């Protein structure tokens, strides 16, 4: 049976009464959701071709949640929220277009699952892309709220959608969204989530930040006591309401989510609390699960007698009886039911006949078009001093913060007095304030995932992962939320996100501060990966990465920051002027071979990046004029044209990396060169990287044995040139 609430935890919501028009619309939409679920089951041979879930049992709380939302708000629904989407103004036809993966699916153009919405539409709350919403959505949703609070604190509300755009003479335009026009009020975020997902660690990170920063967000937890086939008793030691008590500053409400009147009143109270900027709210709403978990996991396989118990809590007959007691007639309700049935049947036939996506569009929207397409600004201003890479990075971020008020910078230890463990953000917090440059908890998932929410509301985040070895907890967000957003939203929601990651070995850093991770990152489609080797490139690429509308990971080698490692003196360069940019995806020739040696066929090219540029420069002194060094600078997108041209020029190539070589980006690139440049090659493509070991040892002598160095590069060059 459904859990019974403790009476002392219930709240009196009798002060908030819906209008008769709202009640009528709610009943119509509840019947619509019921008819959709019924139709899907009756036509399961067609509708279950792709996986879907329905709202059966959850309709009351979902429609009540929709009633609080206005066009100024943001929503993060979960995969069972089709009634919520109906309440926000979406038609059954539009949801069915997604159900059947049709071309005109307004969310994704047929690319993602049913009830996985992404929507920018006048008069409707903004619904940014999110993953399958089993807990991961809490972080991007909290990032939205974080971005809203930041923009409000800076007086930058104009960067967010203006709700007045959707009102005529300060009166709501009827029928555009929801059950009831929300007041012209401060925006909020609604994050909808199932109780099973509340056990995810990333949800705790989100709740922690919402409470810590008092963010304008409602977490709506729909608790039906089931995961897939696992019960609440198996999955958790407490429900979401009890769990939320541990987060000081997170207001809690609890009520019967199968009762529309109680749910309407409760959601109104939650919205009022957040709109008055009193802090975040967690709503725990108990619901029955009346349908299948999904179309692929059917209720008869695992529910047993539990389904009969849940059926007694069905919100539809309960609401029907409540409306009769509120002087609605049986004939009136019957007419609404018939209207719902007719709409659903007609919309289904239209959706069946709708066109499928054009297969030729399958690759559209991997990335949003770049802003920076050519080098601009002064790379070597007259009279400018040489700068260390770490200072060039600091100055680049300083320039961005000064020029773009919507920009903010956060991560572990980058705020306050320290300004980063490498002093790469020194004094920025003092200069721009704690709202713009601030410390986070040890929450790599939040640091990365929140940038998706920031981007959706118009804030532009620069964030830092303290060491590359610590990026692993963030990969879930990077893969599921950031990298897929542009593609799966059909271009509606590219994520502007600049993620700085200090990387590489630098002499005794040991196994948790020395790693290289680029090959792992480069398996993630939909993100860009940048890797500068000197101060001028650092500054130009940093600005281009910030201006790019896509997620960019900027790898910054710790051993190059201060040019203290022997052989890295060239990493220190004249500092470019403010505004200098280098387009992403453009390699540079870091060292040319002599024309004479090239003409006599005595040369080769080293294709590399980061520290490899400096190893190659040192090693090449033994082969005067014989070695060209191509600095890739950006690993994705790769400047393949420059690689091909260099290999064809010389006929011999060495691909050099700091990573362990086996199955690396370097080996992949070498294979690609071999395949496409075979006729121009005078030798096999050589590769050199670190030893294939799981970690870098702390002892510096052991570290040297594992890593490449100029002597190892020279040996490889000697063999290659003599081939």
Active-site residue set: 513
Residue 131 contacts residue 70 (beta carbons within 8 Å): no
Looking at residue 625, the DSSP 8-state letter turns out to be: T
Reference 454, options 532, 383, 551, 318; nearest CA is: 551
Q: How many Å apart are CA 474 and CA 447, to the nearest integer?
A: 8
Residue corresponding to tokens 């038609």: 91
Q: How far apart are CA 484 and CA 486, in angstroms?
A: 6
- d(Cα 342, Cα 352) in Å, to the nearest integer? 16
361 CA to centre of own chain = 23
127 membership: H or E segment, kind and range: none
Report whether 26 contacts 18 (CB < 8 A). yes
Beta bridge partners of 589: 630
Strands 281-286 and 217-223: parallel
Give the sign of the dihedral formed by CA 6, CA 12, CA 16, CA 21.
Answer: positive
Dihedral (Cα; 118, 123, 125, 126), 10-degree rounding: 40
In angstroms, the CA 282 to CA 559 distance is 45
Tell me how far apart the alpha carbons of residues 290 and 17 are, in angstroms, rounded to a whole number. 27
Q: Which residues pair with 334 in a beta bridge?
A: none
Q: Are 632 and 700 in contact (CB under 8 A)?
A: no
DSSP state of 297: B
């Amino acid at each position: 049976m459904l859990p019974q609430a403790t009476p002392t935890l219930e709240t009196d919501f009798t002060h908030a009464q819906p209008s008769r028009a709202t009640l009528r619309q709610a009943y119509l939409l509840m019947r619509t959701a019921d008819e959709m679920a019924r139709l899907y089951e009756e036509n399961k041979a067609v509708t279950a071709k792709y996986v879907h879930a329905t709202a059966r049992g959850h309709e009351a709380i979902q429609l009540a949640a929709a009633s609080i939302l206005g066009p100024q708000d943001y929503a993060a629904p979960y995969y069972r929220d089709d009634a919520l989407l109906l309440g926000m103004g979406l038609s059954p036809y539009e949801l069915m277009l997604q159900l059947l993966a049709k071309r005109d699916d307004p969310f994704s153009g047929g690319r993602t699952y049913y009830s996985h919405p992404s929507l920018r539409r006048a008069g409707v709350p903004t619904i940014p892309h999110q993953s399958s919403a089993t807990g991961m959505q809490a972080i991007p949703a909290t990032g939205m709220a974080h971005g809203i609070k930041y923009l409000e604190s800076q007086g930058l509300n104009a960067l967010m959608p203006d709700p007045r755009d959707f009102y005529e003479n300060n009166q709501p335009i009827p029928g555009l969204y929801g059950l009831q026009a929300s007041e012209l009020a401060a925006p909020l975020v609604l994050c909808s989530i199932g109780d099973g997902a509340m056990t995810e660690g990333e949800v705790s990170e989100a709740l922690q930040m919402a409470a810590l920063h008092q963010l304008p967000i409602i977490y709506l937890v729909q608790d039906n006591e089931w995961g897939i086939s696992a019960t609440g008793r198996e999955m958790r030691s407490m429900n979401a309401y009890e769990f939320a008590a541990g987060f000081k500053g997170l207001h809690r409400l609890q009520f019967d989510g199968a009762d529309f009147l109680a749910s309407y009143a409760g959601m109104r109270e939650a919205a009022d609390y957040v709109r008055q900027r009193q802090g975040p709210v967690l709503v725990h709403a108990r619901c029955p699960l009346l349908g299948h978990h999904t179309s692929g996991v059917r209720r008869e396989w695992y529910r047993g007698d539990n389904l009969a118990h849940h059926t007694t809590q069905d919100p539809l007959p309960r609401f029907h009886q409540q409306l009769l007691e509120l002087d609605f007639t049986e004939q009136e309700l019957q007419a609404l039911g018939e209207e719902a049935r007719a709409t659903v049947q007609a919309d289904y036939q239209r959706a069946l006949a709708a066109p499928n996506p054009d297969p030729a569009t399958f690759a559209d929207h991997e990335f949003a078009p770049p802003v920076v397409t050519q080098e601009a600004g002064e790379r070597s201003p007259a009279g400018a001093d040489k700068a260390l890479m770490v200072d060039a990075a600091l100055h680049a971020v300083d320039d961005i913060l000064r020029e773009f008020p919507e920009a903010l910078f956060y991560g572990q230890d980058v705020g306050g007095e320290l300004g980063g463990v490498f002093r790469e953000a020194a004094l920025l917090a003092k200069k721009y304030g704690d709202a713009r440059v601030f410390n986070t908890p040890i929450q790599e998932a939040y640091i990365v995932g929140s940038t998706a929410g920031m981007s959706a509301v118009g804030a532009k985040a620069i964030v830092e992962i303290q060491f590359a070895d610590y990026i692993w907890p963030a990969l879930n967000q990077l893969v599921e939320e950031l990298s897929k957003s542009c593609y799966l939203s059909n271009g509606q929601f590219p994520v502007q996100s600049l993620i700085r990651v200090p990387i590489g070995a630098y002499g005794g850093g040991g196994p948790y501060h020395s790693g290289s991770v680029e090959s792992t990152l480069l398996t993630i489609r939909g993100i860009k990966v940048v890797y500068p080797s000197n101060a001028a490139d650092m500054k130009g690429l940093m600005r281009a990465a910030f201006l790019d509308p896509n997620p960019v990971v900027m790898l910054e080698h710790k051993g190059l920051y201060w040019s203290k490692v022997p052989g890295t003196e060239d990493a220190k360069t004249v500092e470019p002027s403010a505004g200098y940019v280098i387009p992403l995806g453009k390699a540079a020739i870091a060292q040319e071979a002599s024309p004479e040696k090239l003409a006599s066929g005595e040369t080769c090219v080293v294709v590399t990046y980061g520290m490899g540029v400096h190893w190659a420069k040192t090693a090449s002194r033994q082969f005067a004029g014989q070695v060209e060094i191509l600095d890739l600078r950006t690993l994705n997108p790769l400047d393949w044209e420059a690689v091909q041209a260099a290999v064809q020029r010389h006929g011999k190539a060495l691909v050099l990396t700091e990573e362990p070589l086996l199955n690396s980006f370097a080996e992949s690139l070498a294979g690609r060169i071999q395949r496409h440049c075979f006729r121009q090659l005078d030798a096999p493509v050589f590769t050199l990287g670190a030893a294939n070991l799981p970690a870098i040892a702390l002892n510096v002598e052991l570290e040297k044995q594992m890593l490449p160095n100029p002597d190892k590069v020279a040996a490889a060059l000697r063999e290659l040139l003599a081939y």
